[in-house]
Amino acid sequence: MEWVYRLSAPDYEDMTNLPKALRKRLADDVPLYRSRIIGKQESQDGTTKLLLKWPNGATSECVLIPEGPRRTACISSQVGCPVKCTFCASGMGGLKRQLSASEIVEQAMRVRQLCDDAEHLSNVVFMGLGEPLANYDATVRALCIINAEWGMAIGARKITVSTVGLPKHMRNLADEGMQITLALSLHAPTDGLRREIIPWAKRATIDSLIEACRYYFERTGREVTLEYVLLGEVNDGDQHARQLAEVAKQMRSNVNLISYNPVEGLPHRRTSRDVAQRFLNTLRSAGINAHLRPSRGLDIDAACGQLRRREGTTDEALDREGIPNE
Ligand code: SAH
């Protein structure tokens, strides 16, 4: 564990205090890194995105996001995504397969290896491709390894799981006994509008999500982050801001307004800076703790699923490689 997680040894061969025969057996039986880095893009703002290819041909994206002293790894939980939000590139080809716990952790390790010693990886967010709570067991195992002292030793509060909102699994996660930060992709303040932009919203009402968030806070003491991607003339009106404030007030939460990262082929537009600022002010004057997040890595298509599409590892390419569409 020390060699793998603390010293980031790339290979068993480097673990020179282990007997040679053991090193060979380990290399044969439990391969250390299974992905190949087949794409790397660096943004002017320092955001670096990796495209990893797994032995069976599937690909995942992971991103290093530097921000002041913070170094955040954004990792994927599935290949593709079953949710198909109207503004997101990840679901455009549907879900290809689940990632295993080791594949999820490997992404965080690959990103950590992009950091230097002075500025080591400080945060991990499950905001890449996929719906982490729809791959619950692997996600929780990966969370344990990323959090463990013997593992990547990243504090639970510095790990964020972002979910489209599956109340039962949000409760289960609360019961795991870790103080993971939970982010809920709300994106709309009413069930009607939410169902227009998030197909899975029909599985859970906003009221049931509020209940699940309240439970999460009771069990973990962690405020839930409400994510809200501003989509021009869809969910960015004054009435939406007021309705959102009413939702946010019903639990211990903070609101993260996210600028839309345009995706080719999808029908949405960015909200102007003035409208975004007004939306933020409306929330704040209603007493909500809200922030406006600038987009990172715009010049490298850093929104979920974009690099993977750009590299042609889309449906058709995966189908050619025989990856089953689940
Ligand atoms: N399935 C999880 C993780 C998704 S990615 C979830 O739904 O939360 C993390 C966040 O990025 C989500 O809030 C998602 O809605 C948002 N997102 C996806 N595509 C985006 C885009 N093009 N621009 C801005 N945010 C986007």
297: left (phi over 0), alpha (psi -120 to 50) or beta: left
Q: Specify the pLDDT at position 305.
A: 61
Q: Specify the pLDDT at position 323.
A: 40
129 lines ligand 1 (CB under 6 A): no
Counting the structural domains of the chain, the total is 1
pLDDT of 256 above 60 = yes
Nearest to 156 by CA among 220, 218, 62: 220
pLDDT band (50, 70, 90) for residue 315:
very low
pLDDT band (50, 70, 90) for residue 294:
confident
Which residues have a Cβ under 8 Å from the Cβ of 138 and sit 6 or more positions away? Answer: 77, 98, 99, 100, 101, 104
Q: Is residue 239 part of a domain?
A: yes
Separation between Cα atoms, residue 32 and residue 4, nearest integer Å: 8
Q: Is residue 45 part of a domain?
A: yes
Separation between Cα atoms, residue 270 and residue 263, nearest integer Å: 10
Q: Percent of the chain beyond pLDDT 90?
A: 86
Residue with tokens 């109207």: 86
Ligand 1: residue whose CA is nearest its atom 5:
127
Instruction: Name the residue with higher pLDDT: 116 or 29.
Output: 29
Instruction: Domain of residue 299: give its range.
Output: 33-303
Q: Is residue 68 part of a domain?
A: yes
Q: pLDDT tens across 140-162, in order?
A: 999 999 999 999 999 999 999 99
Q: What are phi and psi of 39, to 5 degrees?
A: -155, 145
Hey, which of 304, 306, 309, 310 would you mutate to test ligand 1's pocket, going by the most ligand atoms within 8 Å of its Cβ? 304
pLDDT band (50, 70, 90) for residue 172:
very high
Task: Tell me the CA–centroid distance for residue 186 and ligand 1, in Å.
Answer: 10
Q: Is residue 10 part of a domain?
A: no
**String of DSSP letters for 30-43:** S-S---EEEEEEE-
Q: Is residue 3 part of a domain?
A: no
Nearest to 16 by CA among 7, 115, 5: 7
Q: pLDDT tens across 73-115, in order?
A: 999 999 999 999 999 999 999 999 999 999 999 999 999 999 9
Task: Tell me the CA–centroid distance for residue 208 and ligand 1, in Å.
Answer: 20
Q: Is residue 72 part of a domain?
A: yes
Q: Which CATH number belongs to the domain containing residue 82 in this structure? A: 3.20.20.70
Rg over CA atoms, the chain? 20
